[in-house]
Amino acid sequence: MGIFPRSSSRNTTHELDEQPMTDIAGHERVARRRSKFPALRYLLCLTFTLTSIASADKTGLPSGRPEPMVFDLVDPLGTKKGELEINTLLDYSTRTGQFQWSPEIEYSFAKGHAIELELPVDNATLSEYKVSLQGTLGELFQRRMIHGWQIIGRRKNDEKEFGAEALYLNDYKFSESWSMMNMFGARRTRFNEDGEFVGLVNNSVFYRFHYFAIGIELNSEIRNTYRYRLTPQIQYGFSKKAFIQFGGGPSHLNEDQKTEWLITSRLVYDF
């Protein structure tokens, strides 16, 4: 579950002035002219999803270790067997008016190991299929640190091409309130002669207080140039099962290297 590209033609009524761009979670996107009322559509979607989870009982953030929002984990490292989670990432660009959302379903088939299916959607078009596998390597330093790995495979529908990522995950708790998550890895953009390797880095720091957590997430791509996305964020736990993440910030992950300001939210429910 959410580091890092997320150009091609789309079936949409706004096909003018297309520019290729890429987001930190590996989804390729196309910048378009602004559609009518994009902010209203985003708000309605957010309100509908919040209404469906706000009735949960018991309070707190899952696992006591906040997770990055943009490039999330499949499940918390060290998760119990049989855990099931659904969540969706919502992304809105204030520069292009483009709206992306990525529903996910995650299941832990063994202790510390989980699988995820994600369906990234650009406006109303399913852009790709994404399957992730994650495992836990163990705990160190009196259980303050937990680490693991994540492998991601994807199929881009418009290009009919496959890509993949592999990452090392490391979560460290300084105290009951402060923690950090770091991810390091690489992506193969395509498995053909046009494919290239991209270095991936995700660094996040969080402060947690009861039902809330605040943090900042830096997602980086390293190829012939350095690209990044910076996302300050807050998290609120409605219950042990439901919580929301919300934030936004600048991104230079698009191909034209223009600053793109993104508003982002992730809504999570554990069964």
**Structure tokens of 198?**
């991209």
- Note whether residue 177 is domain-resident: yes
Write the CB contacts of 37 (distance below 8 Å, at least 6 apart in sequence).
none
Is 3 part of any domain?
no
Gap between the Cα atoms of 254 and 141, Å rounded: 39
**How many domains are contained in the chain?**
1
Q: What angle do CA 23, 131, 48 make, to 5 degrees?
A: 65
Dist CA 238 CA 58 (whole Å): 8
pLDDT confidence of residue 58: 35
Q: CB atoms < 10 A from the CB of 153, how many?
A: 14
Question: What is the rounded CA–CA span in Å between residue 101 and residue 121?
Answer: 5
Residue 259: predicted pLDDT: 87
Structure tokens at 61: 């953030």
Q: Is residue 9 part of a domain?
A: no
pTM of the full structure: 0.77
Would 4 be classed as within a structural domain?
no
Domain for residue 186, yes or no? yes
Backbone angles phi and psi of 248, in degrees to 5: 175, 165
Residue ranges making up the domain that contains 209: 19-270
Whether 154 maps to a domain, the answer reads: yes
The CATH code of the domain that includes 253 is 2.40.160.40
Asked if residue 6 belongs to a domain, the reply is: no
- The answer to whether residue 122 is domain-embedded is yes
Residue 225, classed as helix, strand or coil, is: coil
Q: Along the 271 residues of the chain, how does pLDDT read in single tens digits?
A: 544 444 333 343 333 344 444 454 555 444 444 444 454 454 444 444 443 333 333 334 555 789 999 998 999 999 999 999 999 999 999 988 889 999 999 999 999 999 999 999 988 899 999 999 999 999 999 999 999 999 999 998 888 899 999 999 999 999 999 999 999 999 999 998 889 999 999 999 999 988 899 999 999 999 888 999 999 999 998 888 899 999 999 999 877 778 899 999 999 999 8
In this prediction, residue 61 carries a pLDDT of 55
Taking the C-alpha atoms of residue 112 and residue 148, their distance in angstroms, rounded to an integer, is: 9
CA 33 vs. chain centroid, Å, equals: 25
